[in-house]
Homo-oligomer: A and B are copies of this chain.
Amino acid sequence: MPSKPTSIKEIAKIAGVSHSSVSRALRNSPLVNRDKADRIRRIAEECGYRPSAAARSLVTRRSQTIGVVVTSIADPFVAGVVSGIEDIANERGFSVFLANSGVDPAREIRVVHAFEERRVDGIIVTASRVGALYVPLLEQMQVPIVLLNNQHPSQFAHSVMIANVEASREATRHLVSLGHRRIAYIGDRLGFQSDTERLEGFRSALDEAGIPLDPALVVHGDGKPEAAREAMAQLLALQNQPTAVFCYNDLSALGAFRQIADAGLRVPHDISLVGFDDLYISQYLEPPLTTVRQPMRQMGNLAMTTLLRLIAGEGLCQDIKVPGELIVRRSTAPPKENS
C-alpha cells in the first residue's frame, strides 16, 4: 500500500504525464485533453491526493483565506455573526482564521500580525472595543477590511452596522406608548459607539414625547450581566424608581432581571424591561424578553459578501446600515396604576 502522494509530481509519474498537465487537470483548465484530464483526476482522487494550498497561494498570491478577529467568541452575539461569516466563506471556498483578542491590546496586535503573515485576503473585525489601537494598524494593512458593529469607527475600513439610533428610538417609543414616563437606560461603557447611538435613540424618543430626561436614570454597565445588575441596583435605590428600563443588550437585561427578581419585584408587573440583540435564549426567558432583533447571522453574511466584493476589486458601498426589528414579548406592560 503506497503512502499518499504529496505532490503533483508523484501523480504525474503515476499517470505518465508532465506535472504541468496534472496541475491543469486539477484546476480544470481547458488546456489539457479531456480524457487525459479525467484520467488524471481519477488517479488523484483514488490516491486521496490533496494539493497544497500553501504552494498554490505562493504563486497565485491569493490565500483564499480571511481572518476574523473578535473580542470573544463566547459572546453569543459574536458567535452568531461568525456563524454567518463562515457560512458564506465555506460556500465560496474560503477558509477562515478565527482569533479572539479580548481587550488585550498586545494580543490584538499579535493577532493582526499573524494574519499578515498568513497573507489573508481580507479581515473582518467584529465588535472590537480597542478600535483606537486599530487605526494605525489598519492603515498599514494591504488587504480590505470590514468592521462589524465596531465600537470605534475608522476611515480605513468599510463597515456593517446595526441602525442603533432608529432601533433604540423605536424600542423606547414602545415603552412610552405603554404609558411609561420614568424610563431608565442601562448602557455599555461610556464612549463606545453603539452605546452612544443607542442612548441617542433613547433620548430622541423621550424628546418627541415631551418627557424630560432625568440624568439619574442613565446608568452604565459594560454589556455583561454582572455590571448591569449593579447598574440596576443603583436604579432601584432611587427615591423615584423607573417603571421601565431599556437595556443596552440582552445580556444586560438578563442582569437587570436578576436584580429585579432578587429585590422581590416582578417583570413586567413592577418594571418593564427591553433588551437589544434578541439572542436565541431571549424568547425562552420567563417572561420572554421584549427586545430589538439584530439579524446576527445575516449581518455576518453581509460582512462576508462585502469583503468578498472588496477582494474581487469592486470598491463600493462604504458603510452598510442594517435595520433592527422590535420584537414585543411579555417583559413589557403598562406601568402599575399607582406609579
Contact = CB atoms under 8 A, between A and B. Distances in A.
Interface stretch (A33-41, A116-124, A125-133, A237-245): A116-124
Given A58-B55, A82-B73, A280-B74, A99 B110 contact: no
Contact of A87 (B86, B100, B254): B100
Interface string A37-69: 000000000001011111101100001000010
Q: How many copies does the complex hold?
A: 2
A111 interface: yes
A338 interface: no
A154 to B, nearest CB: 18
Contacts of A261: 286
Nearest to A260: B286
A336 interface: no
A79 interface: yes
B100 A98 contact: no
A71 to B, nearest CB: 11
A284 B113 CA distance: 38
Contacts of A79: 73-74, 76, 79
Nearest to A49: B116
Contacts of A50: 113, 116-117
Contact of A254 (B4, B73, B225, B284): B284
A255 interface: yes
A72 interface: yes
A54 B51 contact: no
A322 interface: no
Interface string A221-261: 00001000000000000000000000000010011011001
A96 interface: yes
Interface core residue of A57, A118, A284 (most chain B CB under 10 Å): A284
28 contacts: A4-B140, A48-B140, A50-B116, A50-B117, A52-B117, A53-B117, A54-B54, A54-B58, A54-B119, A55-B58, A68-B98, A73-B79, A73-B82, A74-B80, A74-B83, A74-B280, A82-B98, A90-B100, A90-B107, A90-B110, A98-B98, A225-B284, A255-B284, A257-B284, A258-B284, A285-B285, A285-B286, A286-B286
Interface of A: 4, 48, 50-55, 57-58, 63, 68, 72-74, 76, 79-80, 82-83, 86-87, 90, 95-100, 107, 110-111, 113-114, 116-119, 140, 142, 225, 251, 254-255, 257-258, 261, 280-281, 284-286, 288, 297
